[in-house]
Structure 1
């Protein structure tokens, strides 16, 4: 059977593979083996997972052997790192050209030993970056509490030793549908940029129905370039243009009213390059979330930038509600992390966080010990403290709001115990859910439909989730309800995300986190497509 054609990178790799075994003069086989193994051992140096892998196999080559098996590994690896840019990774970290140059330069067993170790280390770095991200989120922003589940390099190398190398490389990237769709959107955006992007930005001004003029033409051209409006020579603000603008507003989380206001104009004028940056950051974030066990057969996602909480059963959304998240104040932003929801509390009391007591409530109590009368002040034994003596600099007490209709947590809270004291809960401040931008809390996440969330979570463990929940609610006493099966909760932050059908969605970078992530990706060497200024 005729061998399929190879890419230029792979063809060069095959030439390099052959060059590995050209020596200046014949060397006895035993001496070659000894020199190779000594070189491997010396190059490894420090004790780590890669050194352990080589010791376990008695320093035999993984990449630089003379047979077709080793050649296939080299070929597959060079082919894989040649695709690093397609994944939005810093290709310079793996540098296929430099590796091929070293292959060509390897003329003796000692060279090949050092090269074998370098290929393993480069592979381990590439696999780690592709599976779990090129950046360490904890070094970028204090709100990125994401714990990355890195794979063991020894395990990755063992897989490469025992499995088809191309099959191994195909499974390194996240296998989620979201990641695949983001890669597709990345390629689409790169084509837009190659064609010159979205063209001229749209100036400010007001557009009325039926109006014509330069502003309408600029808006028309922008909507056409972005794919929301069919090519047309119309120069007035028609119903068709208004519908196109409404579709754009929906895809950007804006109020869908067909009005060309400041928020809509600002979103319209984000360049294609800016949108590509958002997609690349989303791909990095999806790698951070890549776990061997997946997100859980049933799980909850809260996308902070979308102000929305959802329950997923598999890939299907089975419940959805609006959410209010932490405000943009630096000490109130909702962190990003994953944990497991274990229970809910019906008719909860609110135990005020120490930070709120110190920064907000204690100054008021010092001025007037009878202020904040809806809150109880309790000592370490749980006894209510008399306010008559007043409060000085020392305040060794806690504060608690008993259950009731005005409780800050509403009538139910959902607990996934974590060291950040973040949870989902009801709220009496229902008016906030009518706003498009919903960043008002101290950090916890308020739900627009908490009873619906409770019913959805209880449905797998009772035939009458509504009746069961109402019985607990009617008692007016605080009651803990355990979930028979804990539900993973993922607090995420995506300014670019996809839908199973439809256009890619974009949202505002409310906490500025994506801007910091992009700056770090760029510093690491992630390159953008050329074509748009």
Structure 2
């Protein structure tokens, strides 16, 4: 007997000794080969072991009761639907489990199967509820979201306290968005099975009045994608123009009805790539499958869509354009959720340390009067004079902070919205209004700039004052930096979706501006997620 085998045996004995199967006199339950197998197989997992110990190592899957039958039937049915959820179906392999069930010849084998079914169930349940990727930060460091993982006891106790089908059916996100994404996935799979959207459109630029083979290819592709009714026109007419405009609107492009470079790139994207975006979006929806939902009132910022929205009771009540972090890795806006608890009207801008040493210190070394719109402040809050040389300081040794006082040219504009977090990310106004007219709006150092910050403030304040505009404007006119607490903090969710849906069920797609979805897809594919039955 090896040392490891001895230790394992000791663990099994300890488990059995603390269970209801332990000898307690003449009426004690006999320890069977089944119980022995269960105890051996759960000895490496404390939570599973505790569950079986409390029920005397009796089965929940492999027994002969009606309840056992219902549980294993519900599990097999759920596993067979894994592919519909964009999960790695081969990982759970319902057919292999059925084959193993049929091959059981002894009580010991049945005990081993019992634990294998429990482990399989837990693996599947966690993947379905909170995602295949349990730590997205390992895929991309900027995804700092805390996944709402549940304890093992949640899944085991829940299975035993509810009807199995009901409990398993409620594990996936119960949101309209998740249901609509599943529908989009099914439609794209059907499109792929029937040959896709046809030939791609040749590169170039097509606009109203044009004719030729390129226009015909564009027409046929728009028909195949459902943006254009069947027609034999070979001219870029009003119907094609309107179809292109609708396509542009659904893909976050400039809506001008002209099929130029960026529009053609999106039109020529394959249904397989669109399906990947939808499957990734479903995985991302699982990452925010929180017990209490996103919040009765919440703020949703989809980074790829360059918009910030307020939802009340599931309905969109306010939206505005946004500017987000630049594509450079150290300036990208991270993904996470937090709670907005106050706003600051007429804010000062305290320059982040990374910007001070990365951008402003080199200028100060050359010219102490550089960036004169900013105050240099010591650790006690005193303004430091510029009549000195800063050339002696390095990035590590520079001992000062930098601040821009409130005013019309302040980098934060007239108001900032705070959900205090260790990433120093918040929503705010900006004097650079021209940036909101751009199609791709990645210009900040990571924070989210709003196009209509005053209206955004009014929408938030309407919950706690009868005259939100008057209240806000009176504080603004004072010119004084003023903190205004929100009576009821509002959850803020910074998300990243290249595929999402509207309330009417239309699927929208956006560009993978930070390249995050491509890396998530690679991780999902490595885990066994497939498209069309073929690993991509």
TM-score (norm 1): 0.93
- The structural deviation recorded for 1:531 is 9.7
- The structural deviation recorded for 1:388 is 1.4
C-alpha distance in structure 1 between counterparts of 2:380 and 2:533, whole Å: 66
C-alpha distance in structure 1 between counterparts of 2:269 and 2:312, whole Å: 34
C-alpha distance in structure 2 between counterparts of 1:418 and 1:57, whole Å: 44
C-alpha distance in structure 2 between counterparts of 1:162 and 1:434, whole Å: 54
Partner of 2:262: 263
Maintained 8 Å contact 1:195/1:531: no
Give CA-to-partner distance per residue, 1:12-40, whole Å, 9 cap, x none. Answer: xxxxxxxxxxxxxxxxxx99852111111
C-alpha distance in structure 1 between counterparts of 2:520 and 2:95, whole Å: 27
The partner residue of 1:528 within 514, 519, 531 is 531
Name the SS for the 1:460 alignment partner: coil
- The structural deviation recorded for 1:48 is 2.6
Give CA-to-partner distance per residue, 1:33-72, whole Å, 9 cap, x none. Answer: 5211111111112243212211221211111111221111
Partner of 2:127: 129
Does structure 1 residue 457 correspond to structure 2 residue 456? Answer: no
C-alpha distance in structure 1 between counterparts of 2:171 and 2:533, whole Å: 27
C-alpha distance in structure 2 between counterparts of 1:302 and 1:282, whole Å: 15
Partner of 1:334: 333
C-alpha distance in structure 2 between counterparts of 1:390 and 1:375, whole Å: 16
- The structural deviation recorded for 1:111 is 0.9
Partner of 2:240: 241
- The structural deviation recorded for 1:208 is 3.9
Partner of 1:306: 305
Structure 1 residue runs without a partner (length 5+): 1-29
- The structural deviation recorded for 1:174 is 0.3
Maintained 8 Å contact 1:334/1:444: yes
- The structural deviation recorded for 1:507 is 0.3
Name the SS for the 1:461 alignment partner: coil
Maintained 8 Å contact 1:273/1:532: no
- The 1:38/1:384 distance shift into structure 2, 3 A limit, reads same
Give runs of aligned pairs for residues 110-149 of structure 1, distance below 5 A. Answer: 110-135=108-133, 136-149=135-148
Report how many residues are paired: 505
Q: Which runs of 4+ in 1 moved over 3 A?
A: 30-33, 530-533
- The structural deviation recorded for 1:530 is 5.7
TM-score (norm 2): 0.92
Does structure 1 residue 169 correspond to structure 2 residue 172? Answer: no
Give runs of aligned pairs for residues 401-440 of structure 1, distance below 5 A. Answer: 401-440=404-443
Give CA-to-partner distance per residue, 1:461-519, whole Å, 9 cap, x none. Answer: 11111111111111111110000000000000110000011520000000000000011
Does structure 1 residue 100 correspond to structure 2 residue 95? Answer: no
Structure 2 residue runs without a partner (length 5+): 1-27
- The structural deviation recorded for 1:270 is 0.2
Q: CA RMSD in A?
A: 1.6
C-alpha distance in structure 2 between counterparts of 1:413 and 1:429, whole Å: 15
Name the SS for the 1:331 alignment partner: helix
- The structural deviation recorded for 1:223 is 0.5
Give runs of aligned pairs for residues 45-444 of structure 1, distance below 5 A. Answer: 45-135=43-133, 136-391=135-390, 392-393=392-393, 394-444=397-447
The partner residue of 2:515 within 505, 512, 515 is 512
Name the SS for the 1:188 alignment partner: helix
- The structural deviation recorded for 1:438 is 0.5
